[in-house]
Structure 1
Amino acid sequence: MGNDPGMTELRRGVLGPCVLALLEVRPRFGLELVRELDAAGGLLTSDGTVYPLLNRLRDAGLVTSEWRDAEGERARRYYFITDDGRKQLAAFRADWTEFAATVRGVLYPVGEEGRRQ
């Protein structure tokens, strides 16, 4: 994906819901989230965007966190989605489906013959 300002803003707008979606599957620590978002391709412009986002999500009550100290490993802060986070994610998914269809219709209009122009 490109790095123009419009794409940067689009990434910024969907990064929070993507983090919530990952946490809905299972709790993760910060670096794990960074790696998974980076591996998804095109979602991260900088690794440094995830930690401030996690703090904002925690402040908003959408995630919680706790330190875990596994035997033989260093302590890590794990993040968990809350019930409010699940509700917000569900609402975003519904809005996203409609929004993406609307944008697609504008970007790729269907001609009278049913073909994309």
Structure 2
Amino acid sequence: MSIRSQLLKGILDGCVLAVIEKEPVYGYELSRSLQDIGLAEVSEGTIYPVLLRLQKNRLIIGEMMPSQSGPNRKYYSLTQKERKH
């Protein structure tokens, strides 16, 4: 594993939480937001395990919501505990 990928792994949780803090997002939208801020190496396949881990640790919650185009999407937002932190 390269130093760059190790650094990315170390900061990814914080980056994901920072994006979600602004507004609830779904996985693909989160991936695009991370790419927009310079984390182009983060694929969707990397995002979903991070989201599951953060959800398991009760830092975020996922809720199914209607989409304007297509099927319902799971939107992620910070828990009240994480918002206070």
TM over 0.5: yes
Contact 1:66 1:79 in 2 (8 A): yes
Structure 2: state its 5+ residue gaps.
none
Secondary structure of 1:80's counterpart equals strand
Contact 1:27 1:80 in 2 (8 A): yes
Q: Which residue of 1 aligns with 2:65?
A: 68
Matched, 1:56 2:48: no
Distance 1:73 1:21 in 2: 27
TM-score (norm 1): 0.64
**Structure 1 position 43, deviation (Å):** 5.4
- Please identify the structure whose Cα radius of gyration is greater: 1
Change (3 A) 1:30 1:72: closer
Q: Which residue of 1 aligns with 2:30?
A: 33
Aligned length: 84
Change (3 A) 1:72 1:35: closer
Looking at both structures, which has the greater relative contact order when contacts are Cα pairs under 8 Å and sequence separation is at least 6?
2
Please give the root-mean-square deviation of Cα atoms over the aligned residues, in Å.
1.8
Q: Which residue of 1 aligns with 2:82?
A: 85
Identify the range of structure 1 (36-45 vs 51-60) with the bigger mean alpha-carbon deviation: 36-45
The structure in which a higher percent of residues are strand is 2
Structure 1 runs, 4 residues or longer, greater than 2 Å off: 42-47, 70-73, 83-86
Contact 2:60 2:76 in 1 (8 A): yes
Structure 1 residues 8-47: aligned runs within 5 Å: 8-42=5-39, 44-47=41-44
What's the % identity of the aligned pairs? 36
Distance 1:25 1:45 in 2: 19
Change (3 A) 1:82 1:44: farther
Identify the range of structure 1 (46-55 vs 78-87) with the bigger mean alpha-carbon deviation: 78-87
**Structure 1 position 33, deviation (Å):** 0.3
Q: Which residue of 2 aligns with 1:104?
A: none
